Amino acid sequence: AKIPATVIVIFGAAGDLTWRKLMPALYNLYLGKRMPDRFMMLGVAHTDISLDDFQRHLREGIDQFSRSGKAKPDDWDDFKKHLSYQKGDFNDDATYTGLKQQIDKIEKDWGEPVNRVYYMAVPPAFFESIAVRVGKNGLCKNKQLARIVVEKPFGHDIESARHLNNLLHELFDESQIYRIDHYLGKETVQNILAFRFANAMFEPIWNRNYIDHVQITVAEQIGIENRGNYYETAGALRDMIQNHLLQLLCLVAMEPTASFKADEIRNKKVDVLNALRKITPEQVHEYAVRGQYGEGWVEGKHVKGYRQEQDVSKTSNVDTFAAVKFFIDNWRWQDVPFYLRSGKRMAETISVITIQFKQVPHRSFPVESTENWQPNKLVLNIQPHMGIQLRFQAKIPGVKMLLNPVDMVFDYVDSYPAGSPEAYETLLLDIFEGDTTLFMRSDQVEAAWNVLMPILDTWQANTSPNFPNYAAGTYGPEDAEALIAKDGHNWMVIP
């Protein structure tokens, strides 16, 4: 269906997210002829910058970060006609009345109803102020036409998330609210549902009878870059586990849906979050491990410890690594552990989900043939490798019966050399089209906070005496190894 004419208001237009992610994504949608026939992007920020300089700055971002490479002059000249800038204070009503005038004028000039997308690409401290002012200045009067996009972090804990949800619900219907978790827009993440529910052979064994445990690793080599101010209020548990990793867990664990309707999928996901076993404060040390990096070596380069980073306290108690063991209390998953870990300044940058199956019930081969025996594993490679591997035993060619694990591999690069859209392209297009499937509903966000609160509270109340407890360039603290080793397993990153 044709996408209606759209005005995209970007609050925080001079910021990093707009520069690195949003503009390159919008530009690629434009190159792919996916933008609405009529669209206008209105950037708003408090930076004093001319329209020319604003456009130049965005072009540099596109040149650096766009998957299609440097912008070609003709394309860019056309694209930039859709880009305007308004300097404005997010806390000042005048900013919003100015915007309203602009949008009303566009609507009049185009002679058709215009969709309004309000994108909050700003620090969370501004969410409330912007949402309220968009509401009270009549920018979202027509509910059919207005949408608001909220970046993460959505809240700082369960209370603040609830508060923000209540506030948004006073101004918008849930169907107008797009809470971003950009992992859901990743091609390989969307493919989890295709893999599970568009194939007959995996789902029958996708349960506690065949699966031993599940591991989800999202490791990054980067540190906190220049985000010390934000990261000091967040930490790995809030920054990654609460959203990205728990969403991956939901996709692996959810029940099949009858259709692909947004709310049906979101219902099944929230069922998983609600079934996560709530741990008590006394159990936190058994189920969760935190870490903070000290100095070390990453890719041959010496890097600072977290406490030496800019805008970070010398005695910071913030976690840059978190590992948690979850159980899902339902019929499908009872007693199957889900181990999640994520950290900064890790040895590799890799996101991977490993599903380990149970051992065979009986080994009928001679002992010497089974030395390298491994349980079957299904590896969902999210990034940077994109693909799926299935590991199973095969006979080593030769006169003896010797076994070795081998892989069956689906690799995106081989099968789809043309490449995949960036997550933000998919998500922005969904917003224009009004599809909320890949966005977080209010109850999902709250359920995810809810299950983490005992850990967050316990960590907050007790400073960690041994920070920093892992060297940059490693896979996190020893305690994280112990967390999984006590159940007889190891963390795996297979590719």
Annotated binding site: 89-90, 152, 182, 186, 220, 239, 344
Shortest Cβ 425–ligand BG6 spacing (Å): 13
Contact status, residue 343 vs residue 236, Cβ threshold 8 Å: yes
Closer residue to ligand BG6 (CB): 239 or 309: 239
The answer to whether the CB of 327 falls within 8 A of the CB of 335 is: yes
Which 138-157 positions form the footprint of ligand BG6 (CB under 6 A)? 152
Q: Using omega within 30 degrees of 0 as the cis cutoff, is the peptide bond preceding 361 cis?
A: no
List the alpha helices (DSSP H) in 141-276.
158-171, 187-197, 228-232, 236, 246-253, 262-275
**CB-closest chain residue to ligand BG6:** 239
Q: Which CB, 145 or 164, lies closer to ligand BG6?
A: 164
Which amino acid belongs to residue 222?
Answer: I
Binding residues for NADP(+): 89-90, 152
Q: Between residues 220 and 425, which has the closer beta carbon with respect to ligand BG6?
A: 220
Q: How far is the CB of 82 from ligand BG6 (least distance, A)?
A: 26
Is 239 a residue that touches ligand BG6 (CB under 6 A)? Answer: yes
Which of 156, 244, 285, 362 does the annotation list as catalytic?
Answer: 244
Q: How many other C-beta atoms can be found within 10 angstroms of the C-beta atom of residue 316?
A: 21
| Residue 319 contacts ligand BG6 per CB under 6 A | no
Q: How far is the CB of 11 from ligand BG6 (least distance, A)?
A: 18
Q: What's the alpha-carbon Rg for the chain, to the nearest Å?
A: 24
Dist CA 275 CA 327 (whole Å)? 8
Nearer to ligand BG6, 85 or 231 (CB): 231
Phi, psi values for residue 284, rounded to 5°: -50, -45
Q: How far is 366 from 181, CA to CA, in rounded Å?
A: 50
- In terms of CB distance, is 7 or 423 closer to ligand BG6? 423
The answer to whether residue 244 is catalytic is yes
Q: How far apart are CA 239 and CA 204, in angstroms?
A: 34
Residue identified by tokens 């552990």 is 337
Cβ atoms of 306 and 294 within 8 Å: the answer is yes
Closest to 122 (Cα-Cα) out of 73, 94, 98, 89: 89
425 scored as a contact of ligand BG6 (CB under 6 A)? no
HSE value, Cβ hemisphere, 13 Å, CA-based, for 423: 18
User: Could you tell me how many residues make up the chain?
Assistant: 495
In the complex, what is the shortest distance from the CB of residue 244 to ligand BG6, in angstroms, rounded to a whole number? 6
| Run of H or E including 76 | helix 73-79
**String of contacts with ligand BG6 for each residue 192-231, x by CB under 6 A:** ----------------------------x-----------
Known binding-site positions for substrate: 182, 186, 220, 239, 344
Pairing verdict, β 146-150 and 115-120: parallel
Nearest to 278 by CA among 489, 447, 485: 447
Nearest-approach distance from CB 239 to ligand BG6, in angstroms: 5
Closest distance of CB 266 from ligand BG6, Å: 20
Per the DSSP assignment, residues forming a β-bridge with 215 are 339, 354
Amino acid identity at 462: N
Gap between the Cα atoms of 153 and 320, Å rounded: 16
Other CB atoms closer than 10 Å to residue 330's CB: what's the count?
15
Closer Cβ to ligand BG6, 152 or 213, answer by number: 152
Question: Smallest distance, Å, CB 298 to ligand BG6?
Answer: 14
What are the CA-CA distances from residue 265 to residues 25, 244, 247, 293, 313 (Å)?
25, 17, 12, 37, 42
> Do residues 292 and 469 touch, judged by C-beta distance below 8 A?
yes
Q: What are phi and psi of 150, to 5 degrees?
A: -115, 120
Q: How far is the CB of 177 from ligand BG6 (least distance, A)?
A: 18
φ, ψ for residue 355, nearest 5 deg? -110, 115
Query: Closer to ligand BG6 at the Cβ: 336 or 346?
Result: 346
Give the binding-site size for ligand BG6 (rule: CB under 6 A). 3
Smallest separation (angstroms) from ligand BG6 to the CB of 316: 16
Residue whose CB is less far from ligand BG6, 95 or 243: 243
Nearest residue (CB) to ligand BG6, 152 versus 268: 152
Reference 251, options 231, 230, 272; nearest CA is 272
Q: Which residues are catalytic?
A: 244
Give the binding site for ligand BG6 (CB under 6 A): 152, 220, 239
